Amino acid sequence: MKTVAVLVLAVVAGSHAVEGSNCNQWTKFYSRDQPTATADYEALYEIRHEHSRDNICAVPSDIDVETLKGVYYRDAGEVVKIGPTFGFACFNKEQPDGKCLDYKVRFCCMEKTPKCTGKWTQFYNRDSPSYSGDWETFTELRQAYSSICAKPSAIDVRLVKNNADYRTANEVVSVAPSKGFWCQNKLQKDKYCEDYKVRFCCP
């Protein structure tokens, strides 16, 4: 299945904001707020601050949200804001009945290197973030390197400067085995992406 990291905050009513990943490491569930005032606000930065000993990963790859009664948030049918690096928010004023349910959240912290049951390709670095960003897209990489398989099962993305996992940079990026990887300068706090390299798992 696709592994998707961090896009932008999404406003949804009954649809998942990110495509689920094959997560092998979920955190416990957290419920730090109640919708008694204006909203149920389960922001990642506040959860990380209040539970610093839990060492929640810097850039979660997915988020799972349920009501305290165990109803998946999509089935609750409420208008919410959700994203793996943002967390979750439900504002009372946006609901038809004027009040949100009470939710709990957990985050996916994947292993640093994705599992590969086939064989990894070499690392590729076809672009640098000197213009709009760093674009290591699957389509362009396969045009340049025809030996890359048509349907990779996993992607491994690392920083060029130190070979560290891409999540350690804590940047807003998009990543999926069938799409590749890209980081847009305009979405970063400092308006500039790190330089990344990618490799794919082929059957």
The ranges assigned to domains in the chain are 10-108, 119-202
Each residue's pLDDT tens digit, 125-148:
999 998 999 999 999 999 999 999
Are the CB atoms for 41 and 33 separated by under 8 Å? yes
The contacts of residue 60 (CB under 8 Å, 6+ apart) are: 27, 44, 84, 85, 107, 108, 109
Q: What is the pTM of this model?
A: 0.51
The tokens of 64 are what? 């799972």
Are the CB atoms for 23 and 60 separated by under 8 Å? no
Give the chain's mean pLDDT.
85
Instruction: Name the least confident of 18-22, 42-46, 115-119, 139-143.
Output: 18-22
For residue 135, give the nearest of 202, 188, 203, 198 by alpha carbon: 198
Q: Reply yes or no on whether the pLDDT at 15 is more than 50.
A: no
Each residue's pLDDT tens digit, 23-40:
767 899 999 999 998 999
| Cα dihedral across residues 70, 112, 9, 35: positive or negative | positive
Are the CB atoms for 121 and 202 separated by under 8 Å? yes
Structure confidence at residue 112 as a pLDDT band (50, 70, 90): low
Each residue's pLDDT tens digit, 43-91:
999 999 999 888 888 778 789 999 999 999 999 999 999 988 889 999 9
Integer Cα distance of 156 and 176 in angstroms: 10
pLDDT for position 8? 29
Q: Reply yes or no on whether the pLDDT at 7 is more than 60.
A: no
- How is 122-172 classified by DSSP, letter by letter? --B----TTSSEEEEEHHHHHHH-TTS-SS-SEEEEEETTT--BGGGG---
Instruction: Name the least confident of 40-44, 120-124, 149-153, 169-173.
Output: 169-173
